[in-house]
Amino acid sequence: MSPTRPLILLPPSGKRQVTVMDFIYAQKLEEALDALRSQAGRAKVLAGGTDLMIQIARGEKQPQALIFIGQLKDDLATISLSQDGYLNIGALVTHRQICADRHIQANYPALATASASVGGWQTQSVGTLAGNICNASPAADTIPPLLVHEAVVTVQSAARGLRDVLLEHFITGRRQIAIENDEMVVGITLAPPPADTADAYLKVGRRKAMEVAIAGLAMRLTMAGPETVGELRVATCATGPVSRRASEVEALFSGQKLTNELVTQGASLLGRMIQPIDDTRASAEYRKLVIPKLFRGAVLECLAKLGIAISGLEKS
């Protein structure tokens, strides 16, 4: 008699019984806004859904209705440049579109780099820049580059029309945004960068692709002379509950001669300022060590893009 084969126990299925009451296909922007108003906080706006669908499956979000805006591509999936050089990125513009956009590659390359590192191709195909902002993850790649370019978020409601908010004020906490129940994001606007400006986005992950940032840093450097900084802006992600500009560090550089000592000082101050946590991806201690390296790396990358070599300023 052959021994009884042990039963192979299958793990419980990840499928949960979640019931969303309504799925609303908005055919026009006005319909989406009307639905948001009438649902009064019970609805979530759905675009690519790469964050929202998983949050629903996990039971983290339990909307009564989903308002699908994917059919509003004519209104919201466009990247447009105004006559005075302001770039408007519609709420349905995907990371894939951002990476491929020539104007973004030329003027805001840090944003293109960040969008190219949000998940894999599958996420970038349907995941939107606006969604990345609204999800307000502390590790969202696109938020630091948008912060250093002082992005403005445009929200709209049926009752009050359009409203502009600085991204810095739009993200109020970990996964928290300043938006009313009846409002949705319709676009993100970036001002034209000044002359002699370069930017960079650097990220640390455990592998090169498909990785949630252990830490990320965006910088925008504007030079006022061959070795003199006009303005340096820096913002980090996965280094605290909310991505923020580091204004104390920025102030050190304003109008100063760019030297190795100053960069070391700025890097070290930034490392002390951030308030990271220990999590599954890395320890707080590691993040405090790696951020100063990213800071220096970003200065060097910006200078390289500007074609400026400063003696004594090298990789540490």
In the complex, the residues that contact another protein under the rule CB under 8 A are 14-15, 18-23, 25, 46, 48-50, 53-54, 56-57, 65-66, 68, 70-71, 96, 119-123, 125-126, 208-210
> From residue 200, how far is each of 13, 216, 287 by CA, in Å?
42, 11, 19
Q: How far is the CB of 118 from another protein (least distance, A)?
A: 10
* Residue 78 Cβ vs another protein, minimum distance, rounded to whole Å: 17
Residue 62 or 176 with smaller CB distance to another protein: 62
Nearer to another protein, 162 or 209 (CB): 209
- The distance of closest approach from Cβ of residue 122 to another protein in the complex, given in angstroms and rounded to an integer, is 4
Choice between 22 and 30, CB closer to another protein: 22
Which CB atom, from 100 or from 224, has the smaller least distance to another protein?
Answer: 100
**CA 74 to chain CA centroid, nearest Å:** 24
Q: Name the minimum Å distance from CB 14 to another protein.
A: 5
CB-based contacts of 60: which residues, under 8 Å, 6+ apart? none
In the complex with another protein, the residue whose CB is nearer, 51 or 168, is 51
Q: Minimum distance between the CB of residue 291 and another protein, rounded to whole angstroms?
A: 24
- Judge residue 237's burial from the number of C-beta atoms within 10 Å of its C-beta, 0-12 exposed, 13-18 middle, 19 or more buried: buried
Euclidean distance between CA atoms 142 and 140, whole angstroms: 6
Instruction: Name the nearest CA neighbour of 239 among 305, 187, 185, 287.
Output: 287
| Choice between 81 and 210, CB closer to another protein | 210
Which phi-psi region, left, alpha or beta, contains residue 219 (left: φ > 0; alpha: ψ -120 to 50)?
beta
What is the dihedral sign for C-alpha 263, 264, 265, 268?
positive
Please, which residue, 50 or 239, has the CB nearer to another protein? 50
| Min dist. Cβ of residue 20 to another protein (A) | 4
Please list the helix, strand and coil fractions of the chain in percent, rounded to the nearest 5, in that order.
Answer: 35, 25, 40
> Least distance to another protein from the beta carbon of 134, Å?
16
CA 71 to chain centre: 24
Rounded CA separation 56/76 (Å)? 24
CB atoms within 10 A of CB 32: 27
3-state secondary structure of 17: coil
